[in-house]
Amino acid sequence: MTDNGDALDSMAVPRLRLSPAVLVAIALGGALGTVARFLLDTSFSDSARQFPTTTLLINLSGSLAIGLLVPLVDNFPTRAPLVRPFLIVGILGGWTTYSTLAVDAVVLAKDGHAAAGLLSLAATLAGGLALVVVGHALGRWALDRRAPDRRTQDGRTVER
């Protein structure tokens, strides 16, 4: 033990090394995504007592969007460093919702609709994974169409 403090001090939160601009981009994107989800959820309230269709559609659309945007955003020029934190971490992080998915499943189970709760969980997981893959393929396809000069003579794409 040193004189710099007790053992708990050495386990403090690590420095994130995030600039204030990145934090603001994440916060603004998160606020927009969360408000959009809230508005959609309250406009089409389907009550988790039956089947959480709105939550499912929100999470599936977020999965498709993140799959599509990751390859596109990763190819943005370095002069746009706030695009990824704003769109992916902020907006899509606020748009998608694991907590509501979990609450909906628990409410369904408590109300005697455990099968519907399990179906919601399975559809979100399987559908979300599948849509991330589809979105990623679409994003890569869009990049390849935009940059045909990245192809070799035999048609293969050259990675950066």
Full DSSP string of 104-123: HHHHHHHTT-HHHHHHHHHH
CA pair distance 103, 28, nearest whole angstrom = 26
Handedness of CA 133, 136, 140, 145 (dihedral sign): positive
Helix (H) or strand (E) holding 28: helix 20-43
Confidence of residue 49 (pLDDT cuts 50, 70, 90): low
> What pLDDT, on a 0 to 100 scale, did the predictor assign at position 80?
85
- Please, what's the largest Cα pairwise distance for the chain? 65
> What pLDDT, on a 0 to 100 scale, did the predictor assign at position 77?
75
Q: What is the residue-averaged pLDDT of the chain?
A: 85
Q: pLDDT at residue 159 above 80? A: no
Q: pLDDT at residue 153 above 60? A: no
> What pLDDT, on a 0 to 100 scale, did the predictor assign at position 160?
46
What would the pLDDT profile of 89-145 be if each residue is shown by its tens digit?
999 999 999 999 999 999 999 999 999 999 999 999 999 999 999 999 999 999 998
Q: pLDDT at residue 6 above 70? A: no
- CA distances to 74, 105, 130, 138, 154 from 150, rounded to whole Å, are 16, 46, 27, 17, 12
Express as a percent the part of the chain with pLDDT over 70.
79
Question: How would DSSP label each residue in 54-102?
Answer: HHHHHHHHHHHHHHHHHHHHHTS-TT-TTHHIIIIIIIIHHH--HHHHH
Domain boundaries, the chain: 18-150
Instruction: Tell me, yes or no, if the pTM score tops 0.85.
Output: no
Q: pLDDT at residue 40 above 60? A: yes
